């Protein structure tokens, strides 16, 4: 730890419940335990590109534990290596990494604490290769970050989605409908699987298992014939039919993700109604899953991660990400994380649990 005087903190990617809890924990821990100055970087990597920063003092991060979002702001388009720039009326991407490195040096930052998901860790790995010291903190509601058992934000998002499924139940029962609830998660099914199990969905569709429309229709028709005149389907935005394609809501020119997933629930609902004659409705939860106050679990986990990040700095362990493995806070080299997606294994105990209680996963068998 000798020689470390100033640490920068940024939040990258989409917003997520628990971000402020991490900022609070890492800032207070660095100040009180190690007498290190903390600099907040605004709007993710944009703040490093445009040199927008502000000091974070102890009182600046007090009272934000239960507040959603991030006091520093964030961006899911900011990438120093592919920064969108308007030239002659057209959007082009330029490499601003040299400027970022100059700004880090001018600010006399010894270390950057990067709080984010796979995109943020991928950028962090490239900056490490350029000589910047980094500590990572795993954030994403999708829970798809490699190297950790769970990311903060996931528990809150699961709780929000499960409550939505609960509320859909009463409408489905009253109107005898097939109700589809579309849940975020991109290419991983953790969020939909967790919310579907917690909410008692009859069918859960995740990206890891391409669904069979015939199998889905058999389930809802069987339930209807048995007098269960409604069905609840939790469907991941990245789910697709066997031999089919992902459902894309729009294309984005200046984003690291070139397209937005969305709308699978509407399309699938129409197909189910056409085949079975059963009335269907679809609800897309969207950004409702990102907002609001974090759960107690996420507040605790975020605090543990923030303190863990400060501990790594104090011990001089650099270029690692804090992670939860089992019930222990550990560290994982960032070079092992960037560019990888943690999807749901087909033998995962959550899948087995869903099957054991009679939940369909949209196929005849796995």
Q: Is the dihedral of CA 180, 183, 187, 191 positive or negative?
A: negative
- Where in the sequence numbering do the catalytic residues fall? 142
- Under 8 Å CB-to-CB from 90, ≥6 apart: which residues? none
Enter the DSSP assignment of 144: -
Short-list 156, 189, 98, 132, CA closest to 290: 156
Which has the closest alpha carbon to 114: 86, 143, 134, 89?
A: 134
Helix (H, G, I), strand (E, B) or coil at 118: helix
| Contacting residues for 296 by C-beta, under 8 A, at least 6 apart | none
Question: Angle 138-249-344 (CA atoms, 0-180°, nearest 5)?
Answer: 40
**Would you report the helix, strand and coil content of the chain in percent, each value rounded to 5?**
40, 20, 40
Rounded CA gap, 324 and 129, in Å? Answer: 25
Q: Cβ atoms within 10 A of the Cβ of 164, count? A: 19
Q: Helix H segments across the chain?
A: 19-34, 45-49, 97-106, 118-129, 154-175, 190-199, 213-225, 264-276, 296-315, 349-356
Q: Which residues, listed in sequence order, are joined to residue 67 by a DSSP beta bridge?
A: none
């Amino acid at each position: 730890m000798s020689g470390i005087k100033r640490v920068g903190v940024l939040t990258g990617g989409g917003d997520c419940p628990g971000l402020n809890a991490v900022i609070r924990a890492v800032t207070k821990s660095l100040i009180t335990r190690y007498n290190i100055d903390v600099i907040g970087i605004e709007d993710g990597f944009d703040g490093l590109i445009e040199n927008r920063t502000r000091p974070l003092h102890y009182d600046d991060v007090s009272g934000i534990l239960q507040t959603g979002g991030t006091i520093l702001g964030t961006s899911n388009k900011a990438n120093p290596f592919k920064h969108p720039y308007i030239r002659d009326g057209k959007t082009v991407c330029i490499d601003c990494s040299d400027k970022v490195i100059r700004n880090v040096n001018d600010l006399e930052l010894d270390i950057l604490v990067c709080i984010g998901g796979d995109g943020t860790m991928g950028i962090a790995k490239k900056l490490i290769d350029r000589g910047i010291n980094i500590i990572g903190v795993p954030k994403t509601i999708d829970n798809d970050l490699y190297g950790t058992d769970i990311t903060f934000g996931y528990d809150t998002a699961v709780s929000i989605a499960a409550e939505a499924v609960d509320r859909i139940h009463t409408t489905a029962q009253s109107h005898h409908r097939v109700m589809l609830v579309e849940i975020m998660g991109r290419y991983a099914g953790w969020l939909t699987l967790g919310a579907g199990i917690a909410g008692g969905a009859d069918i859960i569709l995740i990206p890891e298992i391409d669904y069979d429309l015939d199998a889905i229709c058999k389930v809802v028709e069987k339930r209807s014939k048995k007098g269960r005149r409604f069905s609840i389907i939790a469907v991941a935005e990245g789910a697709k039919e066997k031999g089919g394609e992902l459902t894309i809501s729009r294309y984005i020119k200046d984003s690291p993700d070139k397209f937005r997933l969305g709308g699978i629930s509407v399309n699938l609902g129409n197909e189910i109604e056409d085949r079975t004659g059963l009335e269907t409705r679809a609800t897309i939860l969207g950004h409702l899953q990102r907002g609001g106050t974090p759960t107690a679990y996420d507040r605790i986990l975020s605090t543990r991660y923030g303190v863990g990040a400060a501990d790594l700095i104090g011990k001089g362990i650099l270029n690692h990400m804090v992670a939860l493995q089992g019930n222990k806070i550990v560290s994982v080299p960032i070079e092992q994380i960037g560019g990888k997606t943690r999807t749901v294994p087909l033998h995962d105990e959550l899948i087995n649990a869903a099957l054991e209680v009679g939940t369909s996963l949209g196929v005849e068998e796995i």
